[in-house]
Structure 1
């Protein structure tokens, strides 16, 4: 008699979300399109059949058993309802059980990260060094829009979803060129031996963009002879602003802000906090509402971080990604729901290593490679000490897949 396998409910939920993604029933931000789902579900099964087994789903009810299953509410759901969902999605129960120890990642509209930096002036051009992609929705088409921010300051966006890995090398719009690109612009512009077209080619833009960026810089200088010094001053002020952004009451910050507003307004508007009226410095705070908002942001960003092997899910990383690090570090006592979410998802070192092991096994399985403990450890980036400590756990996970 074969031993019984335990099935992780979180795995089953991710399996359902995976199927919803394939049916285009997840929004660009990963929200479930329940209206579409309920209509399709009720059309697939007869209403009288669902009613006879106590599994009907009403369109106007936002607390049905279907909502509870897919939102990971923690409620106990009858196995019959899971069977109905498996039938609806065309899933095999045996496959769900066999893969219950693998981490399933929902298909990303822009492929799996990290993503390449497309700044032609950077040494790491074309290398996959961008760990996160911020996804929004196009107001005109409803399609996902990915924004990619590199450490070199280059920020670009692209409307998706990507149809192949080749699409990852395409830029829809450049949102910010960054200091590395602009330093190269200054260097090339002073080189009289290069044509405008060649300068544009090396910068990865069209000639009109080069002329426009130089004209913006020239407006700062007032006199062409002073241009190199002024451009250097802009660079210094930008770095100063970035280091002072969090100091809301700093007089120095106000001085730098005013200087940049006068001389480099376009760049300043791109880097200042969005929606100033709702900033966290507001003294009249609805902490209940804020707690709900931040807890939701925590859930969203964790779903994006889980498939990324190189990023540990910590309070600091979550706070930094959602722009609420100061609140999480200093005001967490006023945010009970956020604190509860953090307690559920924050990883210690070993949990981080095990997640990397799960992701690595899943990658090897998808590539039809033979699973070996050393191969999994290498792909997960484990050092010798961690490998020796977790080798039994790796072997156990490999056996569960077999």
Structure 2
């Protein structure tokens, strides 16, 4: 087995040529280990031989990543539609290749955080060594593919639900993407014809009904053809595959005059259109009664003082920042839009808001009052979560609190 080379810079120069007999040094072959280690080494040697004999079809980075994610999904190693279970993957890798790792190059080993194994199944912009791909293929081939698939909608292809498309009800190249919400996950299905809809997947596994996201460019021409005087709203809705109120909303958004009195669901996405009767569909806003801003200003000022006392009594300590005070008496951005109407509250908010240094000093005084003044400054800084640059401030506060009261 050839392991090292006799070639040096002075042996033949930069562009010189050496015969293989003089350039390579042969050493004795390492004996094949017994047991599981020998079996795994034979397995990877066979995979390398197959790779050298029959080169696979090249794939770009995105397709390779998606292929690995589909295989991981089949064996239950995907935590979500786009996130792999790195801990489980590393455990499966060590179970399969652990006995052979001492006999392989050090770059083949996998650290606890996944290392190259975690990167190869994520979005990346670099190539990996063929040996890494072969080892990952070996792990995926050794796992049971009967595990529960994390994607509740399967691997596809999925059927297009656009009744206006020629491929309606057929398996097309519809893509599926998922993102997390507070109540679970939301799957978005998008077809090449522009039609897309969403379905929710709650934490208990319940799948919601399809909800239209975008009807695509085929809807507006169909509405211009179908919406006319004497046309039945429900018949038009069945033709385009939408509910009646959504048909009215989409028609108004496209500027199509509708002959029906049914109100649209939600607000039109475009300019407000006029109905066939010539009357505007824009609803008139009721005039709001005038508000006594002076009384509101006094009430909010009192609430700010009460909120400051509440924040100071919290344990663990919470900084009485401007955002924290504003959040307790109103909603974010409330005072910035009403400075002229709430002069007293705005000025009091600026006065009561606690900056970072003041909050750090309050944390130091709190620790000293709890554990006494016989403490090391470094311990107080660390317990208060402060950096080394705050040690002079800590010593100053400790000196101030330990100073006897005169008189």
Pairwise TM-score range, normalised by the shorter structure: 0.3 to 0.5
More helix by share: 1
